[in-house]
Structure 1
Amino acid sequence: MKILKITIIALLLMSCGATVNYDYEKGTDFTQYKTYNYYTDMNTGMSELDTKRLFNVLNANLKQKGFSLSETPDFLIDIKSSEFQNNQRNTVGVGLGGGGRTIGGGISVGIPIGQSKHSRQIIIDFVDENKNSLFWQAVSENSYNPNATPEKREAVFMALVEKVLSKYPPK
């Protein structure tokens, strides 16, 4: 039942979705990469629990794609994230003015509506272990609720990783 709830939440979040941009080194033979691991000195910028959630979801998705976690990997994964608040863009304008043959002035006031939203940017880098060079990168940005339940956080990561890995390897 728990898996069903998480899947439903993930599907809902995927429809709202994150913005994901991709970049990769042209000419890379992506078929040579079969095993992976993570940088040992990685600082993800997330809490330890969120980092574990992201790693678990990433491992499951990579395994589904045929990759395996290894002590002697073909490539390493580096993850960085940052949180920020979006500026409020919704305002109501109230104005006064004059016109015609009279001299008039104007007053306008912008009243903010709603709250600013929290967002999180996550950058996932795939680095060739032998060449020590970046060959693929995904930069994602999505809304983030710092007070979300663990189940909702996991669902957000599931939707995000699904979207991020949907374009890997590039065609």
Structure 2
Amino acid sequence: MKTIKFLSVLFIAAVAASCSSIRVDADYDEAVDFTHYKTYGYLKDGVDKAEISDLDKKRILKAVDAELQKKGFTKSEKPDVLVNIFTKANKEVNINQGFGYGGYGYGGFGYGGWGPGWGWGGPWGYGGGYNAVSTHTEGTLYIDVIDASKKELVWQGVGSGVLTQDRSKKQERINEFVAQIIAKFPPQKDKK
């Protein structure tokens, strides 16, 4: 029984850790000199098409404003770059089988060792085991930076992670996504 409690605590800790992590990547046009960009605005048509609630759009734009202004950019009616956002969301279902003692080839690797317990006896050797099912929404936020004069995409940042439906934590989670994405803008070109 202690093993089940320990594994349950371990599972909950793993889920909590995965909820907080955001995977971020960025791509950019290497021919662009990003030091010339000082002002920004939003690509209204693009932002309007983002398939999220207007409240979440406002939250994202608020976070983008804060992060760009921290980097010294100024919002302008005649910007150097236009910022666009779009999103994707997928419902994820996780099924975790219980791990435990497998006995004599009926549910484990080896003889009486600890293992995942594949075999006739189920995950616990001679029967038993458990399944933990959880669901969450995995969201992806894209932030595009477009050269306003050329109307060309010059940088794109992408962040993916678990979303929250808890209204009191939405702005905080959105801030995390945006901060981690904008941390990669402007790109720091490798010095050779």
TM class by smaller structure: 0.7 to 0.9
Picking from 146, 168, 171, the partner of 1:154 is 171
Task: Write out aligned runs for 1:34-53 (5 A).
Answer: 34-42=38-46, 43-53=49-59
RMSD: 2.6
Picking from 30, 34, 54, the partner of 1:30 is 34
1:91: Cα distance to partner?
2.5
Does structure 2 conserve the Cα–Cα contact (< 8 Å) formed by 1:17 and 1:159? Answer: no
Does structure 1 conserve the Cα–Cα contact (< 8 Å) formed by 2:139 and 2:163? Answer: yes
Mapped partners of 1:112, 1:126: distance in 2: 44
Structure 2 unaligned segments of length 5 or more: list them. Answer: 1-16, 108-118, 124-128
Mapped partners of 1:140, 1:71: distance in 2: 27
2:140 aligns to what? 121
Mapped partners of 1:135, 1:89: distance in 2: 40
Ranges of 4+ aligned residues in structure 1 off by more than 2 Å: 91-98, 105-112
Aligned residues between the structures: 150
Picking from 43, 60, 66, the partner of 1:60 is 66
Mapped partners of 1:133, 1:89: distance in 2: 43
Q: Residues 133 and 107 (structure 1 numbering): CA distance in 2 closer, same or farther, change over 3 Å?
A: farther
TM-score of the superposition, structure 1-length normalised? 0.77
Name the SS of the counterpart of 2:93 in structure 1: coil
Structure 1 unaligned segments of length 5 or more: list them. Answer: 1-12, 99-104
Mapped partners of 1:89, 1:136: distance in 2: 37
Name the SS of the counterpart of 1:86 in structure 2: strand
Give 1 or 2 for the bigger CA radius of gyration.
2
TM-score of the superposition, structure 2-length normalised? 0.69
1:86 aligns to what? 92
Higher relative contact order (CA 8 A, sep 6+): 1
Q: What fraction of aligned residue pairs are identical, expressed as a percent?
A: 31
Mapped partners of 1:122, 1:73: distance in 2: 22
